[in-house]
Copies of this chain bind each other. A is one copy, B any other.
């Protein structure tokens, strides 16, 4: 399922409407540096050489396996996700927190692509149908509107055949202000 979806969207990338987003190490190298230079008071952060992005910190196949695509004209990010066995909540099903994690990541990617570096201020999730472990789902997120530094993004999680709506969420992101470090804000 994941491979089929991937191939299908790689084709859509050919006309330039969709763009495959690079995985962790590449996508964040620029954003990470910018974040650290512009927004971060170094005294806030303890030396932590073992730091790893939460969604990429599992061994192959056990946690989050995903790829994201971005459509700039629609301000939309699609994430194809296979949920591994280490994401269990209730027996046989994915933990609500793992769903929240990928909704936060997908809406966050959408917000940052469309509006620049931003952090989650609110995430409001309705869990409708539990997701069986090891299944593949599609997370579809879209920038709805912008008010000043506020970015409003909505999102849903569906089965690959689109017949099952697993979860819906609305998210609010705040664009970071280069004049204010995180320390100054607190």
Interfacial residues, chain A to chain B (CB-CB below 8 A): 32, 35-36, 40, 44-46, 48, 50-55, 57-58, 62-63, 85-98, 100-105, 108, 119-127, 129-130, 132-134, 164, 182, 185-186
Contacts and interface: CB of A to CB of B under 8 A. Distances in A.
A103 B88 CA distance: 16
Contacts of A120: 96, 127
A132 B98 contact: no
B164 A54 contact: no
A125 B96 CA distance: 13
- Stoichiometry, as copies per complex, reads 2
Nearest to A28: B91
Contacts of A51: 85-86, 88, 91-92, 133
A18 to B, nearest CB: 24
Nearest to A182: B130
A34 to B, nearest CB: 10
B132 A54 contact: no
Contacts of A95: 53-55, 101, 104-105
A32 B100 contact: no
Nearest to A53: B88
Contacts of A85: 48, 50-52
Contact of A127 (B50, B57, B121): B121
